Amino acid sequence: METQKPLKALIFVNGDSNDGPMVRRALAAAPDAWVLAADGGARQAAHFGLNVQTVIGDMDSLSTAELDALSSRGAHIHRYPQEKDETDLELTLLHAAGANAVWIRIIAAIGDRLDQTLSNIYLMALPALAGRDVRMVAGKQEAWLLSPGETLIYGAPGDTLSLLPLTGMARGVRTEHLYYPLRDETLVFGPARGISNVMQSDTARVWLGEGVLLAVHTIGKA
- What CATH number does residue 150 fall under? 2.60.120.320
Same-domain check for residues 208 and 180: yes
Write out the residue range of the structural domain in which residue 95 sits.
7-139
CB within 8 Å of 59: residues ≥ 6 apart: 39, 67, 77, 79
Same-domain check for residues 23 and 84: yes
Predicted local distance difference test score (pLDDT) of residue 222: 84
Taking CA atoms, 191 is separated from 73, 181, 194, in Å, by: 49, 17, 8
Number of domains in the chain: 2
Same-domain check for residues 17 and 126: yes
Taking CA atoms, 210 is separated from 42, 43, 188, 205, in Å, by: 38, 39, 12, 16
Predicted local distance difference test score (pLDDT) of residue 1: 41
pLDDT above 90 as % of the chain: 95
Predicted local distance difference test score (pLDDT) of residue 4: 63
Same-domain check for residues 26 and 127: yes
Residue 124 contacts residue 212 (beta carbons within 8 Å) = no
Same-domain check for residues 21 and 122: yes
- The answer to the question of residue 170 being in a domain is yes
Averaged in consecutive runs of 10 residues, what is the pLDDT profile of the chain (222 residues)? 75 95 96 96 95 96 96 96 95 98 97 93 97 97 97 97 94 97 95 96 97 97 88
Same-domain check for residues 114 and 19: yes
Residue ending a domain, choose from 82, 112, 139: 139
Q: Per-residue pLDDT tens for 21-56?
A: 999 999 999 999 999 999 999 999 999 999 999 999
pTM for the model: 0.95
Cα–Cα distance for residue pair 79/59, rounded to 1 Å: 7
Same-domain check for residues 38 and 96: yes
Same-domain check for residues 56 and 164: no
Predicted local distance difference test score (pLDDT) of residue 85: 93
Predicted local distance difference test score (pLDDT) of residue 167: 87
Predicted local distance difference test score (pLDDT) of residue 110: 92
Same-domain check for residues 91 and 174: no
Q: Per-residue pLDDT tens for 109-128?
A: 998 999 999 999 999 999 99
Same-domain check for residues 104 and 158: no
